[in-house]
Structure 1
């Protein structure tokens, strides 16, 4: 039942405004809860944003932590004009001797061509006559019915769908039938007149050409002769493309793909630098005192740019000095700085292959652990000792010993632990239920806001009840005063 409210009828007081002003004070605990909730949501979203970056970087480490992924190979032919090569898998040898004794030549299939009448200028013009012809092969006979309204395109469609073993094409005003096998075939008109397509009247029979058999390629690979149906073939993870006959064997060498390895490592360094820059910016972001999240009604009362600026100031430093992120940065740096046990002493740290921290100087500390690459030194290390460079990143430790674990796997493990911590702290958008620490905090705040909203409704009703009673009393008093005045006036 709606409560009847009297707003200043007797007193002349702006009761509506007075109650509203009183409720502003009463609502402050709720407003503080809403601000707290907004801060928690900002913190949650910031954690999740960082977690997504960590996960993406962790996935990218697969290119480094598995030797099979990093140990990229390329194959090089002594003479690309005779034999060109491309790595398609993982070759088992480092060198292959190949001699081309004979190039393959494809078979020429049996075919028959028919000169189309000049009255049919293109493939979309109606033929104008009906007839039936057969395609006769060793595997059987297929009958094709041609209608006067058919076009050459329609005839081709019927032939190609007939499962006769013969395919039709149209070019330069000629209809061409070609066998899909090595066998010959016949085309015979059995009804009507097919002269418009150069097939003749009933009874006309046309034999296809005999075709020519294919010639195989003959090559010697490491002294073993192979007969092949094509000039392009794959052998032991290498695709060979034969181009000319050779009089002497040529060599195909399998080498480390130095450019690919370098680019993989460089890409890792770039992503690592970007990641630590982002994290460091979050934990060192300034926090401005006195700035709090704006409520919706506060935003409405401010110019848009002013509201955006104030909100940016309030959000700044939301993850300042965060212990999870601070420890993650330290762990990442330690993982890269700790030498690899069991490796060649000349290749057990990043600095020995040309990857170091900031150059020494008074401002080096400001780089926050950024990595720098000496490209010449790294390329030289890859060229001369690719296997040892790969080992530095991808060495596997059966006992999970930290010192014996490759740098990429160390980073992967650090990231995995940090991702778990952040997920426990802030949850994930991919999960249907948020049981994280911040998620529970937000739920508790929502419950508190609901309790307070119910309480404020009661407080507001109480204010209105008091003012209503006051208005009623004043109205009664005014009524009695009027009666008394009238009474006195009547006695005179």
Structure 2
């Protein structure tokens, strides 16, 4: 027998039991010795023994090694429990009477107007899952501790409701019987804002849920005052230091990744012996050889690029420079590494958390503060300097992005140089102008080459003609001398 998870083996004495009362007395002694007096209620009614245990989970079963089967005396079929079996068919689930009026037709019912039908072979668990996944807008659950079912509406507040009825069989009656139906109510909260005790400053808030927004913060009601007496509750808000520290760490990680990508491009080695391959050269190499060669040829293309190095410098300055009225990031544990690491940032998490615990708002302002001077690509140098000094880190980096990538109004530096990935190629960018100039120069050089080739061909033809003429004259003179000798 198992009571609330504690399993005990009950062994009847080897003797002859002359009456049902003898069995009850023996079993009472065994139960008291195993679980304590009064833990299990044992009663005898017309030679039927009933075991029950209020608010406890009780089950009885045969041991695998039992030589003498007691089911002849305790007619329980080898296993019995005072709780429902949610995975067996309805007929054997443990209801006091079968919920199915006709095994052939099964059961049917409605909840909030939604119809359900199940076979008598279906389990309670399957029926509950069907209800919970339906559009009835309710959730049904079973408490093994209390041995009862509960229906709860998905809606909250005074407008919520639950209705159910059996249309075939009696499952709803078996599950809920004449249980108490509690209507939903709205949550009513009286707030005295800003610590005022004046009745005129009191605000009554009515909500259909136990969670509501209060000036940007979510308040969740977990209970109510005892009785009808109002209970004063003070609400204070604190920053989640660990969560903020994690977000700052994530930002620093992203910053390091961005800066690392830029420094890699601007410091790549140039391989002067690796010129771009011609088509003829590619035909003589394998794909891997072509790939390796091309990577070497492209390496260093952006080495010391003016635009990218300027962005690097601006990013580093956005971190290093003091923020007016707040100080520098080093004061909250964010510092740079070695010079060779080219501006990589490190975080002293203990120092950062200490700063957040002491002054979370001031610490966050180092990142979120924004100058009263609006950003503009047309700002004067003095305005730009003032805005930079007053801005927090995030606003500074935002300005750097706008300065280089703005595609509205005055174009950013990189947009002016190479254009935007989401715009079609045009001849207005600086690089496209350079490419067009090179194309024009190539066309000119090709024309000049063709002209030079034509000139050399003309000279060659003239020289060849003169050579042929001279050879002819030489042959004539030779023949002439030969004739005179004869």
Structure-1-length-normalised TM-score: 0.48
Q: Which has the higher contact order (CA 8 A, sep 6+)?
A: 1
